[in-house]
Structure 1
Amino acid sequence: MSRTHRLFQLMQALRIGPGPRTAARLGEELGVSARSIHRDIATLREIGAVIDGEAGYGFTLIEDNALPPMGFRDTELEALVLGLREVEQIGDPELATAASEALRKLQARLPPRQAHRLRHAVLAPHRFERPIPPAISAQDLRQAAWDEVEVRFGYTDGYGAVTERQVKPLSVVYFDRSTVLIAWCCLRNAVRVFRLDRMRGLEVTEQSFRPHRVPMLREALEQMRQEHRQDHRQQDRQAAPRTRRD
């Protein structure tokens, strides 16, 4: 197999396979060594493919410059517009501005009929009350989560107690009236949820926890779902009428 053909086969494997996929597994499929796969991944990155991952963890194809841009069906376009306009209302300043810019770029690149449909969309979100603005840079916090590095900040809980926290940021979630961070708290040695408007003095450290954010987030969400189900079962038991016994 020529190297050009192998690069093509590797791209195909990354496109259709569930990621992340290790070099050893990809090498088995293509009949080459893991070292060859690492060299090929580096070559694909050099020619424009965006491939996430690293040795020992696995690789995932994020963006393929060989595939043409996709068009949108009208309903897909309406969903995009609705989502971006929602972000304009609930996002922090940087995110809201980015949503507005994305809408303008999208409109400039659409065919005339769809650009008109975007400009005069039927669907629109509206928030009578917007989330409380974050007290720290949400953009820096999001970047720290992407970079998988720990952050430090002061935190005031609902009772007014102030603590210093160092956490592994996993995900930022936007609720109706507040924006929260799901994180692994090094102080409590457990998953915790922090409101961004109660955080102060955000500091991004150099302590990396790559490449564990995705599996940690998956486990955190599952834990939160289980706790939610337990709370509901407990509420149902408390609300159920008691059987009278003689």
Structure 2
Amino acid sequence: MNRQAQAVVMLLFGGAILRASWTDVYLRYVKHGLRPFLIAAGLLLVAAAVMALRDELRDRPADPSERDDDGHRHGHSGPKLGWLLVLPALGLLMIAPPALGADTVARTGSMLNGTKEIAYSPLPPGDPAKLTLLEFGYRAVYDSGRTLRDRQIQLTGFIATGPDGQPMLARIILACCAADGVPIKIGLRGDVPRLPPDTWVQVQGRWVAHTAKDPVNESDIPYLEVDTWQRIRPPAEQYE
């Protein structure tokens, strides 16, 4: 691949990063706080590509038949297969892949696989208490549900298939980017929504003193007794 082709690929990748960063698409790859770094990286790639193209065009001989002192023409062309690198860049520009979902949940063990004893502070007054799936899981597993008793809890996540074949609630936790995504899984009882996997719902119910073992990594899956639920649109920031 010659320098001109390399610059074009770099320009496309920089443009794809900027396009994703200026919309909510970047949230399917990384956490919210990394947006400024993505914008900076995209601008840097675009600027480098433009300078490389400028230098390539400026240094190109006016007469393409010019020869060097040895009497042979010399070009900068390389393997044409290098142009295939354009395809993933074009794919990023034109196609936005979905966020990690039920498939990841089925293949990856829940993150509640440690042994901790943590005393959590009481939930704020007023029902329902709106918790993340991770906070509910920590309080249910590591604090034995002490602060969840006799409270109405509201959780938001997507539907996945549990180890018993029944629907459960899940969400992906990111440390940095989608490559390190790990699911948090909450089992459901009672008025369980019978919806396709990856459907987003908001459920309200009560903690129950029951857990199951995740067959993937033997971690604990706490349960919620669902009283009511409603289908919702996927949030812009789908990861916790």
Q: Flag the structure with higher helix content.
A: 1
TM-score normalised by L of structure 2: 0.23
Which structure's CA Rg is the greater one?
Answer: 2
Which structure carries more relative contact order (alpha carbon 8 Å, separation 6+)? 2
TM-score normalised by L of structure 1: 0.23
